[in-house]
């Protein structure tokens, strides 16, 4: 498992005594036993096959309260770097701790897990398989972890846009702006990944018709790698 958000989720579950179950769950997930999985606010529902049976798994977590989300959004909007990191696919995990919140629980009792199988020793392998895939999902799209806690990506980004428009707290983190300077020299001296600079773009505007600005700009920046060749005739 990676050192990303999914890795952190797995580490939390392992520390809560799920290590051996997670290993079994990983095998089940690798074998394709998880037939479907959907995540909505506060709950993940999945169908997991086991032999001739298909079980229904649910993993619920308490959504952050409205005041808790308000404090998260304020903290994200106040720091350009936090929002930039979020858009680059990285959740500023430590920010939650600074706010006295935990993105992932530190007690299994905070997770409501049930499965239609008759395993008495919960969480069962089916739930562990779903946890494993959930971790992979968090790695690929950290916004899913935030959605699980009650704020979908679109709603969160639109709230951040509003907050940033209505506050003047856009003071950059020391060194943040300086690191952007390669943008201006990229055309003359192509760097290894010119589009990497997009991950440091200030986050306004956040989206254009639902697309991340950074993603829209990425092809243009990638083209900077290739010096213009002789005209084709
Ligand atoms: Zn089960």
Centre of ligand 1 from the C-alpha of residue 25, in Å: 10
Domain boundaries, the chain: 1-63+103-140, 177-223
Centre of ligand 1 from the C-alpha of residue 13, in Å: 17
Task: Please give the chain's pLDDT, 233 residues, in tens.
Answer: 456 889 999 999 999 999 999 999 999 999 999 999 999 888 999 999 999 999 999 999 999 999 999 999 999 988 888 888 888 888 888 889 899 999 998 888 889 999 999 999 889 999 999 999 999 999 888 899 999 999 998 999 899 888 888 765 444 544 444 444 443 333 333 444 444 444 444 444 444 445 554 565 555 545 444 444 454 44
Centre of ligand 1 from the C-alpha of residue 81, in Å: 41
Give the pLDDT score at 99: 94
Helix axis angle, 125-140 to 19-30, nearest 10°: 80
Centre of ligand 1 from the C-alpha of residue 40, in Å: 20
Longest dimension (CA), the chain: 73
Centre of ligand 1 from the C-alpha of residue 65, in Å: 30
What's the start-to-end Cα distance of the chain, in Å? Answer: 50
The one-character DSSP state at 15 is I
Instruction: Classify residue 96 as left (phi > 0), alpha (psi -120 to 50) or beta.
Output: alpha
Centre of ligand 1 from the C-alpha of residue 203, in Å: 42
Q: Quick one: which of 35, 41, 73 has its CA closest to 169?
A: 73
């Amino acid at each position: 498992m990676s050192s990303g958000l999914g890795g952190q989720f797995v580490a939390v579950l392992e520390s809560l005594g799920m290590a051996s179950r997670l290993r079994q769950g990983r095998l089940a997930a690798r074998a394709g036993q998880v037939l479907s999985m959907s995540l909505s606010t506060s709950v993940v529902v999945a169908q997991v096959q086991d032999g001739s049976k298909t079980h229904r798994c649910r993993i619920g977590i308490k959504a952050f309260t409205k005041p808790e989300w308000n404090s998260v959004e304020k903290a994200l909007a106040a720091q350009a770097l936090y929002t930039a990191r979020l858009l680059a696919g990285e959740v500023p995990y430590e920010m939650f701790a600074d706010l006295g919140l935990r993105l992932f629980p530190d007690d299994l009792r905070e997770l409501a897990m049930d499965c239609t199988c008759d395993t008495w020793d919960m969480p069962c392998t089916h739930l562990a398989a779903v946890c494993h895939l959930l971790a992979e999902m968090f790695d690929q799209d950290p916004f899913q972890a935030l959605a699980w806690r009650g704020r979908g990506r679109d709603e969160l980004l639109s709230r951040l846009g509003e907050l940033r428009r209505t506050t003047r707290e856009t003071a950059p983190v020391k060194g943040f702006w300086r690191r952007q300077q390669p943008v201006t020299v990229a055309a003359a001296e192509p760097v290894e990944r010119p589009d990497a600079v997009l991950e440091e773009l200030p986050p306004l505007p956040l989206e254009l018709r639902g697309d991340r600005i950074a993603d829209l700009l990425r092809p243009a920046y990638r083209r900077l790698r290739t010096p213009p060749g002789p005209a084709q005739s």
